[in-house]
Amino acid sequence: MDLDRLKTSHRINLLISGIIIFLISGIIVLFVRHRILLKNIAPAPSPQKTEANITIQNFQHVATEDGIIQWTLEAGSASMYSMKNTAELNNLSVVFFMKKDRKLTMKADHGLLNSKTDDMSLSGNIRAEIDDYLLTTESLNYRHHSRIIEVTTPVDIIGPLVTLTADTLNYDINTAKMRCDGNVNGSFIETHDSPPK
């Protein structure tokens, strides 16, 4: 009887030892496999190279102040970066609303909108129209708080009463006043009608 008990006890010990060895081997295999997989995964991209949080087709944005619409924006696409509060825009059109129901319309190939401040930078084939005047340039900035447009590249203005070129231009949307600097050249057409206001 003691011999049978001894054999049974020995078998149970062997079985338990086998299960323990099997479990330890399995854990070691899983750990090694996991470490190998971690080495093969590419590191996360740096913040400058991260993709947009969301890309929106036919993007629209309206900037208001005290319930009054200041400007509207439409873009063919917008890539939103929430960490930077920015949207990269393509094929965009902006309409600024001015006093006396006047509108300033701008179109550009590209733009960058700060969604927190509503400031914008536009670039590429910029065309701005107000009344019968057309402005063309390649780069400009809009500061929403002061409602000032700063054209930072050479500008051409063509209209019924004037043609003008300049290196830079500032335009105050609130007062409708413009200041040109650097190599300013122009010609004015004299009329007997009063100029537009």
CATH code: domain of residue 184: 2.60.450.10
126: nearest Cα among 103, 162, 150: 150
Q: What is the pLDDT of residues 75-127, one digit of tens each?
A: 999 999 888 889 999 999 999 999 888 999 999 999 999 989 999 999 999 99
Overall domain count for the chain: 2
pLDDT of 35 over the 60 cut: yes
Identify whether 195 is part of a domain: no
Identify whether 179 is part of a domain: yes
- Looking at the structure, tell me whether residues 35 and 60 fall in a common domain: no
- Looking at the structure, tell me whether residues 58 and 32 fall in a common domain: no
- Looking at the structure, tell me whether residues 163 and 66 fall in a common domain: yes
φ/ψ (deg, to 5) at 147: 55, 45
Residues 68-99, buried b or exposed e (16+ Cβ, 10 A)? eebbbbbbeebbbbeebebbbbbebbbebebe
Residues 63 and 72: their CA atoms lie apart, in Å, by 6
* 130: amino acid identity, one letter: I
Confidence of residue 168 (pLDDT cuts 50, 70, 90): very high
Q: What is the pLDDT of residues 170-192, one digit of tens each?
A: 999 999 899 989 988 888 877 66
Q: What does pTM read for this prediction?
A: 0.67
Structural domain harbouring 65: 52-188
**Tell me, what's the pLDDT at 187?**
87
167: nearest Cα among 188, 187, 184: 184
Sign of CA dihedral 102, 138, 121, 44: positive
Confidence of residue 46 (pLDDT cuts 50, 70, 90): very low
- Looking at the structure, tell me whether residues 30 and 65 fall in a common domain: no
Identify whether 115 is part of a domain: yes
Q: What is the pLDDT of residues 122-151, one digit of tens each?
A: 999 999 999 889 999 999 999 999 999 999
- Looking at the structure, tell me whether residues 8 and 81 fall in a common domain: no
Identify whether 9 is part of a domain: yes
Confidence of residue 154 (pLDDT cuts 50, 70, 90): very high
